[in-house]
Amino acid sequence: MKLNLNRNKRYAIPIMTHPGIELIEKTVKTAVTDGQTHADAIIALSENTPSDAATVIMDLTVEAEAFGAKLHFSENDVPSVAERLLHDRNEVENLRIPDTDTARIPEYLKANRLAAERINDRPVFAGCIGPYSLAGRLYD
C-alpha cells in the first residue's frame, strides 16, 4: 500500500490493542506471553475496526524483563515490574545488553511477524520502550 502524503486526508491510527484481546476472548496475560495469541488479537482488531494502520501491543516490561527484572503478571492487567533490579552505579555499568532471544522478546517478534503477514491493507506498527522509561523500570 502506498500512501500519498501530499493529500489533505488525515489518517486515524487508534492506539488500542486490548480490545482485540477481548474480541478473541483471551486474557491479557496470554496475549503478552504468547506471540500467536498476541497476533490473533491484533488481526481481529484490524478486521473489526477501521483505521489507517494497525498497532501491536506495547508492553513496557518486555525490555525490562529481558534485562533481568522480575515481573508481576495478572490475568487481565498489563505486567508490572515487581522489584528494583538496579541499586547503584556499579550495577548500571555492569548491566549486560540482552539478546533478542531473551525472555518474551521472541514472542513479541513472532506477534509482529504474524500480524504483518496477515494484515495487508495497512501498515503494522510496533514499538519499544525508550531509554528513560526503561531506566525507570530497572532503577525504580
Parent domain of 103: 18-139
For residue 8, being part of any structural domain is answered with no
Do residues 48 and 38 touch, judged by C-beta distance below 8 A? Answer: no
For residue 117, being part of any structural domain is answered with yes
**Beta strands of 8-129 (E only): which ranges?**
54-55, 71-74, 77-81, 124-125
Summarised one tens digit per residue, pLDDT across range 19-51 is 999 999 999 999 999 999 999 999 999 999 999
For residue 4, being part of any structural domain is answered with no
- Please list the ranges in the chain whose pLDDT falls under 70: 1, 3
pLDDT at 12 (0 to 100): 86
Q: How many domains does the chain have?
A: 1
For residue 85, being part of any structural domain is answered with yes
